[in-house]
Every structure is written in C-alpha cells, then in structure tokens.
C-alpha cells in the first residue's frame, strides 16, 4: 500500500474532513476533530511545516503536552486523548488512504453492502454457523466494507492487491485476532466467487498468519483476587446485585459472558436448580447446576434489584435503553471498573473470560478429570480443554525431566 508521500498538511486535513462525513461521526465528535485539526494546522504553520510525514504527528504531541501520548498504557487527560485521536485519524489517511474507525461499535457500514451482507449471513446460518460465529463474521466484514468504501473500490472489481492493502491496516493486532479476520474474509470471498460476483476466487489471496499451537497461557485469578473483587461490589443497588450474579455465573459455573447476557428465564429450572442453554459460540446445549451461592445471588437480583421491563432476559441494562444487553462489552467494562476499585491490575482484554479460565484451572488443580471439565465448559473438542493444563504448575512440575540426573525444583 502506497503512502500519500508528499501530501501537504492542508490536503491531508481536507481528506480527513471528508472522511468525517463519510463515516457519519456524531456532531460532537465532528467538532472535536475539527478543533484538533485547527490546532495541528496552526502548529505546522508556526513551525513552517508544509508536508506531512509520520514523525510530525509525534513531534506535535510531544510539543503540545511534553509527554509521550503514543504510550497506550499511560493515563492521559481527555485533552490528550482527543489530540491523539485527531492525529491518529490523519495518520490513517496518510498511511492507508482513508480513515479507520478504531472500535467495531463505531462502524456505520455503507448501505450499498446491506443486502449482500444479510444474504451471506443467511447462508452462514443455513451452513450451521452458530450465532456467535455469525456475529464475529459480521463485525469483521463490516470493517472490510468500510475499507472498500473508503478506497472507492467496487466489490466486483476487487483485486488481490486490495486484499493485501486491507491486511496492512490490521498491523499491530495479535496473530490470533488477524487469523479471525482471515477466516471471515476467506469464507466470504469464496461465497462471492460461488455466486458469480467475483470472476476469480480470491480467498487464497488472503494471507494467513503463522499460529503456534498452545503458545499462550490462559489468564487466571487467585482466590485472594476473586475475594477482593467480589467484596468491592456494592450490592445495595440493582446494578451491583446484577453484576455480582453475572460474575458468579462466570466464576462458579464457567459460563461465557455472551451466554450470561443472553440467559433467559426459560433457561432456568428453579425447582431442579438447573440452567439449560444453547451456547452462542458452539451451538451446543449445556446443562449446569445452580449452586447455592449462585441461587442466592440470582434471587436477590430478581426480587430486589431487577428493573421492570418486558425483556425475557434475566440480566438487563439499568440505563436507557432498558432491556437486554446489545453486546458483552457492558459487563466486561463493569468488571474492569470493579477491578480498579479493588486495586487489582486491570486485564487488557477478555477480563470476563479469564473468570472462566480460573474455574477450569481450579478444577484441574483439584484433580477433576478432563472429560468432566470439558462437559462443564461446553467444549466440543477435548484438545481445547487441554490448554488449561498449562495453568496447573504443580502438576507440570511433577512431569518435569531431570537435568544431569537431578530434578529441577524451581523451574
């Protein structure tokens, strides 16, 4: 992908303004970016800078705030965050030729792709893709459509070079995340070829990152961390009662956050104390016992905390619009808030899922057979469950080999 080398600051800002309208930013966001553009333009004029390159943005941010705002782990003021967002948008235009949204919830897909996407989603459903898989494919393809629209590329004229340029925009993501994009894109491109929209099957043109089996170790919590977390939740109000019950379902039963958000009254047999539900990710039916502590939390929420709503979901939003959660990001953000309040290190991603990892790790350390753990977590493949053996360090030490005739004690 060719950079817009030699582009003037004025032309770059003009392209940025065009993309603000194309991506349909809210008026408040539009005003924020326009203010940032004016401040950056004034800085360049004062310093006799006419041509843009990637170093100018970094120098500008350092000159304005005397801190490295490119450090994503540094806590920044709102003004610093706004400036970084403004320069990131301009740098996207410089690097890729169009501005990217930086969160999937912000994507407003061009309507020209609506029918095509919905038809493909129906095909995925007929092919047996679970609701969770279809949701992921939809999100990744929406991002791809925004890229095509920003570059002015009709999908019928798509080339392998365009695909390569799109993959460049994913730089910085983990190999696992990129692999999700690859899978979604390959399946979609093959579908377009099969129905005649593309004259050539471009699915092989999507480069696949090298993945290494079992390279990561699942994040888990200690017993002390969990106790600290749970004690930080204020259960005098409805939101606290709800969040406490949701966190217990993830911690005690190992439910995925998407399944917790989607849990309905019909899934609960209160007399037999069982939860029966279809997992969004796998489409597999799972049955779990409602443990006493979980039952107490659920009853407390439903009787004393849940707001009045016609939603059939057990857990609902307590702010407008009332009703079921639209995504799993809400509970995850709440969990991170409690972690901060409790003085715990905030996990950068999949914080709710780490509670599920913790249950698996605890069961393993208790010498629970893998088949039982597999059934409890609803895994289709026992190999998935095997990944959690890496968290059972004491058992791994028992399997250690000797070195020069002596066992390694503290490895």
Give the domain CATH number at 67: 1.10.150
Question: Mind listing the pLDDT tens digit for each residue in 26-78?
Answer: 788 888 999 999 999 999 999 999 999 878 888 898 888 887 766 766 778 88
Distances (CA, A) of 141 to 110, 146, 167, 178: 12, 9, 13, 13
What CATH number is associated with residue 260?
A: 1.10.443.10
Please check whether residue 276 lies inside any domain of the structure. yes
- Tokens encoding 396: 């791994």
Q: Of 51, 76, 99, which one is at a domain's C-terminal end?
A: 99
Of 146, 171, 205, the one marking the end of a domain is 205
Number of domains in the chain: 3
**408 in a structural domain:** no
CA distance 222 to 339: 13
Q: How far apart are the first and last CA of the chain?
A: 46
Non-local (6+) Cβ contacts of 66 within 8 A are: none
Residue 392's pLDDT band, with cuts at 50, 70 and 90, is low
Residues 302 and 375 placed together within one structural domain of the fold:
yes
| Residue 211 is assigned to a structural domain of this protein | no
Instruction: Indicate if the pLDDT at residue 349 is higher than 60.
Output: no
Q: Average pLDDT, stretch 157-166?
A: 91
**Distances from the Cα of 163 to the Cαs of 93, 153, 194, 406, in angstroms?**
17, 11, 18, 54
Under DSSP, the state recorded for 388 is G
Quote the percentage of the chain above a pLDDT of 90: 37
**DSSP assignment of 337-377:** HHHHHTTPPPPSS-HHHHHHHHHHHHHHHTT--HHHHHHHH
**DSSP H or E run through 11:** helix 9-22
Q: Are 28 and 104 in contact (CB under 8 A)?
A: no
Given this model, what pLDDT does residue 390 score? 54
Do 301 and 275 lie in one domain? The reply is yes
Break the chain down into helix, strand, coil percent, rounded to 5.
60, 5, 35
Domain-ending residue, one of 149, 174, 205: 205
Structural domain of residue 38, as residue ranges?
9-99
Please state, as a whole number, how many other Cβ atoms lie within 10 Å of the Cβ of residue 8. 14
Is residue 243 domain-shared with residue 386, that is, in the same domain?
yes
pLDDT band for 411, please (50, 70, 90 cuts): very low
Q: What is the pLDDT of residue 264?
A: 95
Q: What is the rounded average pLDDT for all residues in the chain?
A: 83
- Whether residue 303 is predicted with pLDDT greater than 60 in this model: the reply is yes
Tokens standing for residue 145: 């459509």
Residue 108 pLDDT more than 90?
no
122: domain CATH number is 1.10.150.130
């Amino acid at each position: 992908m060719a950079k817009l080398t030699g582009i003037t600051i004025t032309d770059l800002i003009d392209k940025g303004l065009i993309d603000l309208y194309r991506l349909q930013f809210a008026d408040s966001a539009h005003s924020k970016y326009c203010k940032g553009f004016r401040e950056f333009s004034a800085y360049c004029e004062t310093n006799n800078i006419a041509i843009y390159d990637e170093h100018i943005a970094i120098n500008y941010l350092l000159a304005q705030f005397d801190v490295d705002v490119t450090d994503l782990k540094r806590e920044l003021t709102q003004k610093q965050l706004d400036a970084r967002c403004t320069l990131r948008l301009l740098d996207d235009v410089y690097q890729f030729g169009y501005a990217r949204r930086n969160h999937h919830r912000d994507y407003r897909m061009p309507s020209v792709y609506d029918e095509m996407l919905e038809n493909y989603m129906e095909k995925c459903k007929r092919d047996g893709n679970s609701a969770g898989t279809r949701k992921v494919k939809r999100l990744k393809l929406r991002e791809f459509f925004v890229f095509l629209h920003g570059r002015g590329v009709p999908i019928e004229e798509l080339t392998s070079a365009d695909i390569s340029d799109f993959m460049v925009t994913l730089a910085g993501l983990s190999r696992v995340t990129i692999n999700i994009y690859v899978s979604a894109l390959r399946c979609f491109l093959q579908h377009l070829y099969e129905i005649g929209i593309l004259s050539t099957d471009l699915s092989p043109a999507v480069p696949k990152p090298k993945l290494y089996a079992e390279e990561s170790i699942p994040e888990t919590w200690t017993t002390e961390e969990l106790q600290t977390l749970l004690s930080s939740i204020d259960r005098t109000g409805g939101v606290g009662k709800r969040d406490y019950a949701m966190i217990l379902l993830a911690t005690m039963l190992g439910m995925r956050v998407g399944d917790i958000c989607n849990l309905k009254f019909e899934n609960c047999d209160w007399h037999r104390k069982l939860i029966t539900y279809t997992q969004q990710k796998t489409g597999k039916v799972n049955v779990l016992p409602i443990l006493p502590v979980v039952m107490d939390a659920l009853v407390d929420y439903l009787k004393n905390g849940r707001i009045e709503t016609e939603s059939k979901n057990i857990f609902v939003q307590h702010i407008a619009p009332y009703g079921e959660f639209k995504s799993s990001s809400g509970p995850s953000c709440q969990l991170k808030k409690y972690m901060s309040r409790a003085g715990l290190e905030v996990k950068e991603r999949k914080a709710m899922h780490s509670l599920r990892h913790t249950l698996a790790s605890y069961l393993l350390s208790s010498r629970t057979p893998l088949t039982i753990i597999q059934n409890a977590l609803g895994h289709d493949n026992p190999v998935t469950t095997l990944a959690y053996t890496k968290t059972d360090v004491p058992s791994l030490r028992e399997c250690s080999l000797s070195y020069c005739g002596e066992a390694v004690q503290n490895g």
